[in-house]
Amino acid sequence: MMNSLARNIELPQAPDNTATSDLTLQISGLTVRRGGTELLRDISFAIPRGGTLGLIGESGAGKSMIGRAIARHLPAGFVVESGEIRLAGRNLLDLPEAAHRQLLGRRIAFIPQEPMSALNPVYTIGAQFREHLLRNGCPRNEVRERTVEALAEMRLREPRTLLDKYSFQLSGGMCQRVLIALAFCTNPELVIADEPTASLDVTTQAHIVRLLRQMQENYGISILFITHQLRLAAHFCDDVAVLYAGEVTEYGKAMDVLSAPKHPYSIGLSGANPRFAGKKGPLISMVGKMPSIEELPSLQGCRFVTRCASATPECGVAVPAIRDIGGHLVRCLVPQAQPLTEEAPPFVTDRNTADAPVLTVDGVSKVFGGGFLKSKHPFVAVSNASLSIHPGEFVGIVGESGSGKSTLARIIMGLEQPSSGVIRLDGRQIGASPEEWRRRISAIQYIFQDPNSALNPRRRLYSLVTQPLEATGESKSQRRVAANDLLNDVGLAAEFGERYPAQLSGGQKQRVNIARALCARPRIVIADEIASGLDASVQAQILTLLQRLRAEYNVALLMISHDLAVVRHLCDRIIVMYRGEIVESGATEDVFASPVHPYTRDLIAAIPSESAEVSWPPEILS
Amino acid sequence: MVGQPPSGRLNLLPAFRLRFTNRTRIVLGAAILGLVVFAALAAPLIAPNDPNAQDLLYTLLPPVWAGGDWDFPLGTDGLGRCVLSRVIYGARIALLVGTIAPIGAMVIGTFIAIIAAYFGGYINTLVSRAVDIWMSFPPVVMALILMISLEHGLKNVILAIVVVDWTRFCRLVRGETITLMKRDYIPAARIAGARHIKVILLELLPGLFPLLVTLMTIEIGIAIIIESVLSFVGISMAPHIPTWGGMVADGMAALYQQPVSLITPVLAIILTVLGANMLGEGLRRALDPKLITRANQV
């Protein structure tokens, strides 16, 4: 307590030292507690009028909790222990409940993470605007006009017809635009955007970010932008604060933090993201994971100490003060100048593709619905797709949601039947008989996207990873031996064999998921978005694992992903799908260097660059 | 009483809030059912009289607390038979019907449900339509009609209940199976080379287990009630076998002279069904997969 008060005396200012009166939001020394645990510790940052601050952190870092503290919407048992949250100079924590509620919506607006579920499905878009505007004192006869204006500003086509629509009639991107319009229509001073683009496609994300920036420029509104994407925040925001286990570890100008991170965690985070330009290199995968709430009280000093490669004994003793190092604030005793390097696994980039392809897909189409006497319109999910995979080759399929990439993968695995077309394994068409099914599964295996769904919660891990041995009738002891090898292959200790999936973290579950696919020693593994939904440091671990397995087993990979950086990092060849069709394919380097199809160009332009020089989002997107 | 602390033990109000912990629910339910099982198994040892021995000289004797005889603790019915002995012997039929009929309904309903949900297509449509039509008949009326066309006897009573109530299992298990089929671990098992029968036995059935346990205990209560209704109208068992429903019918005739001969079998039915439902609810909560996951989390 004494300690935290003492630290509050010297309030860290925004690096550009803007005068206090010009600050829309100033948080200083904010500490949130549950029981004896400080979940947020000494959070301090400020947003000048019209400025943008990016709050970056992996899941569990406490970034959403800051937004909830501002909204006075902390979960039960969480209390603000000390600190101030000042909105234009007034401390929000001192306001009575009613006065505070008056600010929400009117002066502070929120853009939520899940656009589809944030709009009430039983009211029309118009009704929800009406309620919001009337509550905030808009005259009754102006409501309709203001709504249409707000929607038109979001570049939504035909805003008038939109008024009578329900949220489920709109796409995710449209819902998010409606929510942004809703947040901005009362002309607030501060908008808190909690991962507003996390559930959207990359091209939609670029649109949304561009609209947000435009709104901000037009009205001079300050934005608190909560995200887990370092590069996105760096390009969109003026300042960024990196959050780790409830502490600000690094705070400074966005481009400085992106191009020259000083805190070992920021360096790790930026090195964990696959590079998008220049030479491909190994990823930095930080060991371990972020401490859980239960583990926090035992960390007396720096909370990153358990994962830090350059930690000294002093790091574990006292909380390091946040101090100015080379232009931005860093909470570290041993700040780094150079990115960490670690022993990299053999990095295979080029493969000999002269061998005969192990798998060829020839003119495969899939049509859902339709047919005689069916009321539904037929939907063409995949149209005339052809591809081939050589032994040991890594091929990536990219495309937005609904582009048919997952359907194509399921057809190759045999989980869906193609409407037309042929799939050949070793040059021979795969038939429908049980023998042919066995031939297929002994050569091709599939890693499902969501390990929570793909791992039977009632099986122990040793039984899960050796599931393919069940069919061949191996004994229990043989299976345990095999399980130890497989768990070792994916970097899990043998003791894990006795655990249930519910006892693992997300990254560990995904490793088990991968281990099971490898059990049958397949020649091709199909991976459906296995790295998405994981935090950057965990994703880096999984990608490094896949590369190591490739070097060891010469397995081919068909990787389905919406993340171009991941595909570029991992794959020799890339296939771009758009609305069920393969619109472009070729060697990864060629496609990235000179994309031909307009959609591929959009896709590449939509990725925030890791370089500070490249401006993003691009001005023109089709 | 004035100085009593607010949380004192003498304050009876909280006891009436009926807020069972789950443990109490399971223990109490199991205790009631245990009592019924004990009565059924030990009937010849604990019953004071032969349940069918008539003594027309001592008809409608009152229970002991109303001036009756210790030879007939709960009095006698209109034919001079011992009410207590008949309730104890009646537990045998209740128990037999209450275990065999639910097991039969569960096996048949679950089998059809899994076949329908797993293979889908026309089988699934056919089964769900059949279940819809089946369930549109009032169950008791359907059982009555069945029993009229069949002979008296335990086998036929159980058959009638199974034929009427397999749909209850079928409908719910089919829904749950369809939900489970959407989990990726089902196709994952197929890709791992498991045959359909293995997928059903190793992946699907363990997931259905909590639902089956719950439905099973609910069905115990339902089977006992259906049997009671059938014996109430006299088409369940042969007349010389004492059943609770038959006792209710007999007791109705002597309602004003000897109400205990009616109240006793009614209480027996209510308590048994309550016990089964409490045990079922308790087990459902204890086996809820979400709660399992949370409890196992380190």
Question: Nearest chain B Cα to A457, which residue?
Answer: B293
| Distance of alpha carbon A574 from alpha carbon A603, whole angstroms | 13
pLDDT of residue B297: 37
Q: Please give, rounded to a whole number of angstroms, the shortest distance from the CA of A34 to a CA of chain B.
A: 19
| Distance of alpha carbon A294 from alpha carbon A213, whole angstroms | 39
Q: Please give, rounded to a whole number of angstroms, the shortest distance from the CA of B17 to a CA of chain A.
A: 25
Cβ neighbours of A502 in B, within 8 Å = 293, 296-297
Structure tokens at B38: 């004990």
Cβ neighbours of B191 in A, within 8 Å = 413, 415, 441, 445-446
Is residue B189 within 8 angstroms of chain A, CB to CB? yes
Q: B191 and A455: CB-CB below 8 Å? A: no
Q: Is the pLDDT of residue A328 over 50?
A: yes
Q: A500 and B188: CB-CB below 8 Å? A: no
pLDDT of residue B37: 94
Q: How confident is the model at residue A20 (pLDDT cuts 50, 70, 90)?
A: low
Please name every residue paired with A43 in a beta bridge, in sequence order, or none if there are none: A30
Q: A470 and B184: CB-CB below 8 Å? A: no
- Closest residue to A503, CB basis, from B198, B202, B298: B298
Q: What is the pLDDT of residues A113-159, one digit of tens each?
A: 888 888 999 999 999 999 999 988 889 999 999 999 999 888 888 88
Is residue A456 within 8 angstroms of chain B, CB to CB? yes
Is residue B184 within 8 angstroms of chain A, CB to CB? yes
- Closest residue to B192, CB basis, from A449, A468, A500: A468
Cβ neighbours of B194 in A, within 8 Å = 467, 470-471
| Distance of alpha carbon A224 from alpha carbon A93, whole angstroms | 18
Over residues B167-196, mean pLDDT: 93
pLDDT of residue A5: 34
Over residues B46-52, mean pLDDT: 91
Is residue A521 within 8 angstroms of chain B, CB to CB? no
- Output the CA angle A355-A357-A358, nearest 5 degrees: 115
Q: What is the pLDDT of residues B129-138, one digit of tens each?
A: 999 999 998 8
Is residue A462 within 8 angstroms of chain B, CB to CB? no
Best to test chain A binding among B180, B183, B191, B290 (most A CBs inside 10 Å): B191
pLDDT of residue A178: 92
Q: Is the pLDDT of residue A66 over 50?
A: yes
Q: Please give, rounded to a whole number of angstroms, the shortest distance from the CA of B21 to a CA of chain A.
A: 23
Buried b (16+ CB within 10 A) or exposed e, A449-486: bbbbebbbbbbbbbbbbbbbbbbeeeeeeebbebbbeb
Q: Please give, rounded to a whole number of angstroms, the shortest distance from the CA of A593 to a CA of chain B.
A: 37
A250's CB contacts (< 8 A; 6+ apart) are A241, A242, A257, A261, A262, A263, A265, A266, A328, A329, A330, A331
Q: What is the pLDDT of residues B96-112, one digit of tens each?
A: 999 999 999 999 999 99
Q: Which amino acid is at A126?
A: G
| Distance of alpha carbon B22 from alpha carbon A154, whole angstroms | 53
Cβ neighbours of B188 in A, within 8 Å = 446, 448, 454-455, 467, 516
DSSP code, position B14: G
As a CATH number, domain A2-50+57-96+234-330 is 3.40.50.300
Is residue B192 within 8 angstroms of chain A, CB to CB? yes
Q: How confident is the model at residue A3 (pLDDT cuts 50, 70, 90)?
A: very low
Q: What is the pLDDT of residues A532-585, one digit of tens each?
A: 778 888 888 888 888 888 888 889 999 998 888 889 889 999 999 999 999 999
> Based on C-alpha coordinates, what's the Rg of chain A?
26
C-beta pairs of A256-262 under 8 Å, 24+ apart in sequence = A256/A327, A256/A328, A257/A328, A258/A230, A258/A231, A258/A234, A258/A610, A258/A612, A259/A611, A259/A612, A260/A326, A262/A325, A262/A326, A262/A328, A262/A330, A262/A332, A262/A335, A262/A336, A262/A337
A-B contacts (CB, under 8 Å): 69
| Distance of alpha carbon B49 from alpha carbon A466, whole angstroms | 63
Helices and strands: H and E segment counts in chain A? 23, 22
Q: Decide: helix, strand or coil at residue A84.
A: strand
pLDDT of residue A455: 93
Place of tokens 């502490």: A247
Residue A159 CA to its chain's centroid (Å): 31
Q: B195 and A471: CB-CB below 8 Å? A: yes
Question: Nearest chain A Cα to B192, which residue?
Answer: A468
Q: Which amino acid is at A151?
A: L
pLDDT of residue A240: 93
Cβ neighbours of A457 in B, within 8 Å = 289, 292-293
* Nearest Cα to Cα of residue A234 among A620, A487, A607: A607
Beta-carbon-side half-sphere exposure of residue A538 (alpha carbons within 13 Å): 18
Q: Considering chain A, what is the average pLDDT of its residues? A: 85
Fold of B43-291: MetI-like fold (1.10.3720)
* Nearest Cα to Cα of residue A46 among A104, A88, A82: A88
DSSP code, position B5: -
- Closest residue to A456, CB basis, from B185, B190, B195: B185
Angle between helix axes B205-232 and B244-253 (nearest 10 degrees) is 30
Q: Please give, rounded to a whole number of angstroms, the shortest distance from the CA of B186 to a CA of chain A.
A: 8
Q: A471 and B188: CB-CB below 8 Å? A: no
A2-50+57-96+234-330 and A359-605: same fold? yes
pLDDT of residue A340: 47
Q: What is the pLDDT of residues A423-475, one digit of tens each?
A: 999 999 998 899 999 999 999 999 998 888 999 988 999 999 999 998 888 88
Q: Please give, rounded to a whole number of angstroms, the shortest distance from the CA of A208 to a CA of chain B.
A: 32
Q: What is the pLDDT of residues A348-365, one digit of tens each?
A: 555 555 678 999 999 999
| Distance of alpha carbon B85 from alpha carbon B46, whole angstroms | 8
Q: B187 and A455: CB-CB below 8 Å? A: no
Domain-wise residue ranges, chain A: 2-50+57-96+234-330, 359-605
Q: How confident is the model at residue A267 (pLDDT cuts 50, 70, 90)?
A: confident
| Distance of alpha carbon A424 from alpha carbon A418, whole angstroms | 13
Ramachandran category for residue B153: left, alpha or beta (phi over 0 → left; psi -120 to 50 → alpha): left
Helices and strands: H and E segment counts in chain B? 12, 0
CA dihedral (B151, B155, B161, B162) in degrees, to 10, reads -130
- Output the CA angle A156-A158-A163, nearest 5 degrees: 90
Q: A441 and B192: CB-CB below 8 Å? A: yes
B145's CB contacts (< 8 A; 6+ apart) are none
| Distance of alpha carbon B111 from alpha carbon B169, whole angstroms | 10
> Based on C-alpha coordinates, what's the Rg of chain B?
24
Q: Decide: helix, strand or coil at residue A413.
A: helix
Is residue B207 within 8 angstroms of chain A, CB to CB? yes
Helix or strand (DSSP H, E) at B169: helix B154-181
| Distance of alpha carbon B290 from alpha carbon B283, whole angstroms | 14
Is residue B287 within 8 angstroms of chain A, CB to CB? no
pLDDT of residue A419: 92
The DSSP result for A242-260, as a single string, is EEETTEEEEEEEHHHHHHS
Question: Nearest chain A Cα to B185, which residue?
Answer: A454
Q: Would you tell me which residues 391-450 of chain A have a C-beta closer than 8 angstroms to some C-beta of chain B? A: 413, 415, 438, 441-442, 445-446, 448-450
Q: A457 and B195: CB-CB below 8 Å? A: no
Q: Please give, rounded to a whole number of angstroms, the shortest distance from the CA of A100 to a CA of chain B.
A: 36
Q: Please give, rounded to a whole number of angstroms, the shortest distance from the CA of A160 to a CA of chain B.
A: 39
Q: Is the CB of residue A403 less than 8 Å from the CB of residue B158?
A: no
Q: Give domain A359-605's CATH architecture.
A: 3-Layer(aba) Sandwich (3.40)
pLDDT of residue A270: 82
pLDDT of residue A480: 92
Structure tokens at A55: 């709050």
Ramachandran category for residue B114: left, alpha or beta (phi over 0 → left; psi -120 to 50 → alpha): alpha
pLDDT of residue B9: 44
Q: A441 and B193: CB-CB below 8 Å? A: yes
**C-alpha distances out from residue A186 to A125, A146, A216, B82, Å:** 16, 9, 13, 82
pLDDT of residue A345: 46
Q: Please give, rounded to a whole number of angstroms, the shortest distance from the CA of A393 to a CA of chain B.
A: 22
pLDDT of residue A108: 93
Tallying the residues shown for chain B, one arrives at 298
Q: Is the CB of residue A286 less than 8 Å from the CB of residue A272?
A: yes
| Distance of alpha carbon A5 from alpha carbon A83, whole angstroms | 9
Q: B297 and A456: CB-CB below 8 Å? A: no
| Distance of alpha carbon A188 from alpha carbon A358, whole angstroms | 59
Q: How confident is the model at residue B19 (pLDDT cuts 50, 70, 90)?
A: low
pLDDT of residue A133: 92
**C-alpha distances out from residue B166 to A115, B146, B159, B284, Å:** 43, 15, 11, 20
Q: What is the pLDDT of residues A269-316, one digit of tens each?
A: 888 888 776 667 778 777 777 888 888 888 888 888 888 888 888 888
Q: Decide: helix, strand or coil at residue A365.
A: strand
pLDDT of residue A348: 53
